[in-house]
Amino acid sequence: MRSSSAWSSGPGHRQPARPLIRSRTAGQDFRDRPPGEQECHRARTRPRRPSQEPEAVTWARERAGLTKRALAGRVGISEQLMGEIESGWRSTTPSNLLKIAAAVHCPVVVLERKRGFNTDDAGS
C-alpha cells in the first residue's frame, strides 16, 4: 500500500476508498485484501461421466505409436488437454472424439464411454 504522502491532496482529488490490491506474484498471499475479495479456489473434480473411455483413448494412441504431443497436434488441441482426456479429468467433445479416432485409425465406438444396460431386461 502506498503511503499517504504519495497521494496528491489537491482540491478535487479523492483518495481511494480502500487500499490498492497488489498483483499476484510467486509466494505472495492475499491476507491484506479486504474480506470480500479473497480469491476463491474451487476444488477440481472429475466430470461425472466423460464421453470417452479414458483407457481406450490411451490404448489406441499407444497402439498407433503416437505420443500425447503428436496426437494432440493431429487433433488440434493442447497436450495438456490430451493428457486430461486420457486421465478422465476432462471430457472430450464429440467432434474431438471423431478427430482422435481418425488420427489413431480406430472406430469411434471403441473410444466412446460404454453405457451400462439393465441385466434384468436382457435376454428373457
| Tens-place pLDDT, residues 48-89 | 667 788 899 999 999 999 999 999 999 999 999 999 999 989
Q: What pLDDT is stored for residue 82 in this prediction?
A: 95
pLDDT of residue 124: 47
Burial class (CB in 10 A: 0-12, 13-18, 19+), 116: exposed
What pLDDT does residue 44 have?
A: 61
- CA torsion, ordered 76, 78, 81, 85, to nearest 10 deg: 40
With 70 as the cut, is the pLDDT of residue 29 above it?
Answer: no
Which pLDDT value is given to residue 102?
Answer: 96
Q: How many angstroms separate the CA atoms of 65 and 42, rounded?
A: 37
Q: Which overall architecture, per CATH, does domain 54-109 show?
A: Orthogonal Bundle (1.10)
CA distance 116 to 119: 9
pLDDT for the residue 113: 80
The SS3 of residue 87 is helix
- How do the domains of the chain map onto residue ranges? 54-109
Pair 110, 60: CB distance under 8 Å: yes
Q: Which amino acid is at 105?
A: H
Q: The whole model's pTM is what? A: 0.56
